[in-house]
């Protein structure tokens, strides 16, 4: 995955920085902004987009679903809408919950041995 959390230190990032994080064209970031309501960067007085960590996380989620998992845009929108209503917003949160379940199972198994 091209996005690394430790790269993030500033409050705002321009579109070039964000595109570089995901190794995609700036036009793709702008397109996703029109397609996904959860990507809504601020704009400065010149009209330049200013992305926050929350915006970058939303882009990361879209990137993961579309580029890594192969979802269509409509499928990604439905996934985000469905998991948002369930209180689970990111694939990492889903993975963490699964890992916690596995850990509990293994601890219980260990106690029985």
CATH code assigned at 16: 1.10.1660.10
In a domain, 3, yes or no: no
* Domain extent for 59: 8-112
In a domain, 48, yes or no: yes
In a domain, 2, yes or no: no
Q: Is 43 helix (H, G, I), strand (E, B) or coil?
A: strand
- pLDDT tens-digit series, residues 9-68: 688 999 999 999 999 999 999 999 999 998 999 999 999 999 998 999 999 999 999 999
pLDDT of residue 40: 93
- pLDDT tens-digit series, residues 97-110: 778 778 888 888 88
Number of domains in the chain: 1
For residue 13, what is the DSSP state? B
pLDDT of residue 18: 95
In a domain, 28, yes or no: yes
């Amino acid at each position: 995955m091209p996005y690394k959390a430790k790269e993030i230190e500033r409050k705002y990032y321009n579109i070039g920085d964000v595109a570089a994080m995901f190794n995609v064209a700036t036009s793709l970031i702008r397109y996703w902004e029109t397609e996904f309501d959860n990507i809504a960067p601020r704009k400065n007085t010149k009209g330049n987009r200013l992305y926050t960590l929350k915006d970058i996380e939303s882009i990361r989620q879209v990137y993961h679903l579309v580029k890594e998992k192969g979802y269509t845009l409509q499928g990604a929108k439905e996934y985000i809408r469905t998991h948002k209503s369930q209180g689970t917003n990111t694939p990492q949160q889903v993975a963490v919950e699964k890992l916690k379940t596995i850990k509990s199972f293994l601890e219980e198994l260990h106690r029985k041995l």
